[in-house]
């Protein structure tokens, strides 16, 4: 006989059960946060294996929400990667500052749909404000159009969709309505060290991952200004502010004036590096990038806004709107003076109010708080480099910001060191290949990392390398 589904006996019962559940969830989350810095940074293999308790077929009937929460706390939490602690140096993952995390909890309770103003005045107002703060923090021109998306991949996508629109409109082609078949060609220029997510965005846009013209780079991965191909009004030049391996910045000051004069569209992938603009000590690195037409960056990397948060900025808002609005481009132009609706500038229609989290994180940090994260993490990176060099290992990059590449000798020895370090659990770093050489990459991106975290991690690295 089928089991009758359990049904709440009354709505007031179920509401008080919800209150108890949410308090329980908050307690579990706080307990998790309090323990995150004491755990092995990568979960133990046993914890990952125990995730089997959460697999299997979906039960035919309901499970009580309390039981569901218990499963997550018991089996889910131990299988997380502790990137909320101070010793996670993988990829370029930031942590989450308290105000942004608290806002995220509230945003979940609000459950707003941030597509249109009428669905959530608060989400739209805070998103708009946060976008303008980001524009100012990054030193970008007034009047930009922006979108709060899931990450720099989608920010690259949205910004490059605006570029595609603008260039093809100039050539008399309506790409949103007529597609790319038969369209005049666009040439996309990238550096040899372009981030793979930008190529993915080009693929999604029909511009092709392999159709790009790759410009040779120097030893730090910077595009060589003297090696640029011929540029014209049908060219998109993609610069990088912060190479994912070295942290190096393309020479925007040398490239942008020439590219602008040729009528090319300049796009900047500045997933983390652009935030150097918030610090008086590092701002010079971002000089020249403000001359671009569009920019992509992440809230969840250096600003420590928490996942997921990316930001696209476009100098001419109408290009972004034409590319993203559900309405036809000619309507979009006519309604240019209306109030901004998020959905007209974003790839999504229904969407989470992640702009609120961005607003909260930025509001709590202020410009000086952001600058302080940039400066502190960059000085931690230098401390790693000094310690590794002193122990006789080769640092492969100029440590200009928060990224360090180190070789422990042969490729095999370097990869074995990374593996041992990951298993040992004090900290976590990934491996990469830098211009043909195997390396371990240290990315200091979290507001949580202290000098003691650096010293403990350094000791673990030297021990792993010596074994
Ligand atoms: C991380 C990164 C990306 C991709 O960002 P996501 O937020 O993971 O989508 C793109 N470009 C650069 C330079 C990056 O460092």
27: which 2 tokens?
């307690």
pLDDT value of residue 4: 53
Q: Which atom of ligand 1 is nearest to the CA of 154?
A: 9
- The region, left, alpha or beta by phi > 0 then psi within -120 to 50, assigned to residue 179 is left
Alpha-carbon distances of 391 from 347, 378, 401, rounded to whole Å:
49, 20, 21
pLDDT value of residue 1: 47
| 72 DSSP 8-state letter | I
Q: Which atom of ligand 1 is nearest to the CA of 272?
A: 15
3-state secondary structure of 395: strand
Separation of CA 91 and ligand 1 centre (Å): 9
> How far apart are the C-alpha atoms of 383 and 393, rounded to whole Å?
14
Separation of CA 92 and ligand 1 centre (Å): 8
Of 157, 200, 244, which is best to mutate to test ligand 1, by the most ligand atoms within 8 angstroms of its C-beta? Answer: 244
pLDDT tens digits along 80-113: 999 999 999 999 999 999 999 999 999 999 999 9
pLDDT tens digits along 69-78: 999 999 999 9
Q: Which amino acid residue places its CA nearest to atom 5 of ligand 1? A: 152
Residues framing ligand 1 (Cβ under 6 A):
92, 151-153, 195, 197, 240, 242, 244, 269, 271-272, 298, 310
Separation of CA 239 and ligand 1 centre (Å): 13
Q: Which atom of ligand 1 is nearest to the CA of 155?
A: 9
Q: Which domains does the chain have, with CATH numbers?
A: 13-80 (no CATH), 102-363 (3.40.640.10)
Separation of CA 57 and ligand 1 centre (Å): 35
Separation of CA 307 and ligand 1 centre (Å): 13
> How far apart are the C-alpha atoms of 32 and 159, rounded to whole Å?
37
pLDDT value of residue 330: 47
Residues of the chain predicted below pLDDT 70? 1-10, 328-337
Q: Which amino acid residue places its CA nearest to atom 1 of ligand 1? A: 271
Sign of CA dihedral 310, 316, 319, 325: positive
Q: Which atom of ligand 1 is nearest to the CA of 300?
A: 7
pLDDT value of residue 465: 98
């Amino acid at each position: 006989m089928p089991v009758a589904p359990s049904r709440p006996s009354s709505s007031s019962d179920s509401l008080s059960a919800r209150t108890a559940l949410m308090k329980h969830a908050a307690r579990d989350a706080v307990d998790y946060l309090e323990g995150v810095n004491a755990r092995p940074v990568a979960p133990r293999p046993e914890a990952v294996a125990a995730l089997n308790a959460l697999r299997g077929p979906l039960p035919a009937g309901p499970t009580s929400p309390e039981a569901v929460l218990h499963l997550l706390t018991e089996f889910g939490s131990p299988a997380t990667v502790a990137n909320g602690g101070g010793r996670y140096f993988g990829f370029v993952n930031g942590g989450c500052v308290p105000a942004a995390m608290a806002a995220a909890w509230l945003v979940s309770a609000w459950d707003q749909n941030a597509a249109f103003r009428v669905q959530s005045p608060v989400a739209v107002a805070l998103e708009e404000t946060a976008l303008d703060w980001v524009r100012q923090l990054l030193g970008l021109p007034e009047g930009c159009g922006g979108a709060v998306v899931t990450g720099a991949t989608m920010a690259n996508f949205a910004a490059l969709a605006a570029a595609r629109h603008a260039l093809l409109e100039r050539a008399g082609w309506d790409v949103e309505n007529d597609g790319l078949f038969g369209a005049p060609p666009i040439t996309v220029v990238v550096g040899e060290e372009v981030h793979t997510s930008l190529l993915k965005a080009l693929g999604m846009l029909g511009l092709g991952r392999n159709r790009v013209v790759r410009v040779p780079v120097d030893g730090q991965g910077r595009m060589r200004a003297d090696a640029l191909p011929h540029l014209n009004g049908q060219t998109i030049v993609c610069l990088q502010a912060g190479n994912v391996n070295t942290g190096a910045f393309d020479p925007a000051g040398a490239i942008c004036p020439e590219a602008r004069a040729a009528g090319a569209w300049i796009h900047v992938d500045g997933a983390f590096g652009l935030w150097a603009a918030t610090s008086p000590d590092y701002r010079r690195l971002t000089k020249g990038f403000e001359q671009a037409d569009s920019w992509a960056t992440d809230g969840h990397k250096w600003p420590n806004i928490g996942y997921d948060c990316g930001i696209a900025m476009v100098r001419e808002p109408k290009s972004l709107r034409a590319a993203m609005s559900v309405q036809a481009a000619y309507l979009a132009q006519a309604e240019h003076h209306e109030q901004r609706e998020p959905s007209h500038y974003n790839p999504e229609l229904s969407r989470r109010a992640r702009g609120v989290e961005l607003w909260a994180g930025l509001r709590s940090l202020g410009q000086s708080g952001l600058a302080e994260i940039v400066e502190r993490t960059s000085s931690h990176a230098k401390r790693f480099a000094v310690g590794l060099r002193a122990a006789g290992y080769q640092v492969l990059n100029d440590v200009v910001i928060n990224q360090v590449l180190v070789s422990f000798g042969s490729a095999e020895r370097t990869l074995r060191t990374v593996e041992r370090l990951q298993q040992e659990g004090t900290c976590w770093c990934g491996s990469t290949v830098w211009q043909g050489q195997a390396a371990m990459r240290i990315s200091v991106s979290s507001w949580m990392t202290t000098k003691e975290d650096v010293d403990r991690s350094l000791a673990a690295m030297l021990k792993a390398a010596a074994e």
